[in-house]
Amino acid sequence: MSCDRVVTVWGSSRGQAGRMSPQGRMLTGLLLLAVVLLSDPVTWPGAGLWLLALACWLLAVSPPGALVGRLLLVGALLFAPWFLLTPWIDAPALPGSPEVRLLEGQLAVPWRLCFRGLGGLLVGVWTASSIPFVELAGGLMALPIPRAISLLIIQLFYRSQALWEETLEISRALRVRGASRGLRTVPMVAAALPRVWMPRIMDRAERVGDAMEVRGADEAALIMDPARWRGADALGMGLALSLLVLVVASRLVLA
């Protein structure tokens, strides 16, 4: 995959979720994450609520098609191998009557892992794609969490972004030099990356930290004004909370 085709995640979406405040998008994403993790995809109600949560957030966020496709591919590569362990899994006790179950027996365990893992991946990345990087600090400051934790999260995101950009620059340089062509170059590149990539990203992190210190980016400077809540936040979080209540109710009824 060419580095020029790398899909930017932060702020890449242009859906109606952009009308919400950044903290509203974060909380809505957390509620939907709880929905996909608590829903039981082994049953028809659980699978339906799982699909409904993802469909609603997909329509609200409207992430780039390339991002959706690559996330599905990554999810398949990460979670599909669990089905290979099916012969060694004991069949669990399933909730509800046979009429409400999607499947029976040993497949229930990898089925749950795959659906919940994929759902969490999609909701998390789609939420990030709805928040431009410049709005992240203001949104975190508006959340009811300790300020020290907000500052730590902001620093982690900024440093991670700097390291990601440095990694892309190294990848582009390798492609220009033809290092990514042919299977014979793979061992050479794999052996050279620790000696090239690690020193460069460490140097980049030090330069970013020195630049922030020179410009007076101490704790007081990092404290930004909290982003304002918006009217659309109540609608988005209300719908997500309603789905969460339905999931919990369905689990209790089928228990």
What is the per-residue pLDDT for 214?
65
Q: Cβ(15)–Cβ(130) under 8 Å?
A: yes
What is the per-residue pLDDT for 56?
94
Confidence of residue 253 (pLDDT cuts 50, 70, 90): confident
**What are the phi and psi torsion angles at 2 (to 5°)?**
-70, 140
Here the tokens at position 53 are: 């949560």
Question: Which segment of 80-84, 102-106, 117-121, 192-196 scores lowest on mean pLDDT?
Answer: 192-196
49, pLDDT greater than 70 = yes
pLDDT greater at residue 25 or residue 6: 25
15, pLDDT greater than 90 = no
2, pLDDT greater than 50 = no
What is the per-residue pLDDT for 50?
94
- Identity of the residue numbered 217: A
Q: How far apart are CA 241 and CA 175, in angstroms?
A: 47
Q: How far apart are CA 229 and CA 217, in angstroms?
A: 26
The pLDDT of 85-111, averaged and rounded, is 79
The pLDDT of 66-80, averaged and rounded, is 89
What is the per-residue pLDDT for 149?
80
243 CB contacts (<8 Å, ≥6 apart)? 31, 32, 35, 49, 52, 53, 56
Burial 178-188 (b: 16+ CB within 10 A, else e): ebeeeeeeeee
Closest CA to 116 of 69, 49, 173: 49
Q: How far apart are CA 154 and CA 136, in angstroms?
A: 8
Average pLDDT across the chain, whole number = 79
Q: How far apart are CA 197 and CA 47, in angstroms?
A: 42
Enumerate the H helices of the chain as residue ranges. 22-38, 44-61, 65-79, 108-129, 133-142, 147-176, 186-214, 219-222, 231-254
What is the per-residue pLDDT for 221?
46
| pTM higher than 0.75 | yes
Question: Which segment of 111-125, 135-149, 160-174 scores lowest on mean pLDDT?
Answer: 160-174
Give bridge partners of residue 43 from the DSSP assignment: 101
1, pLDDT greater than 50 = no
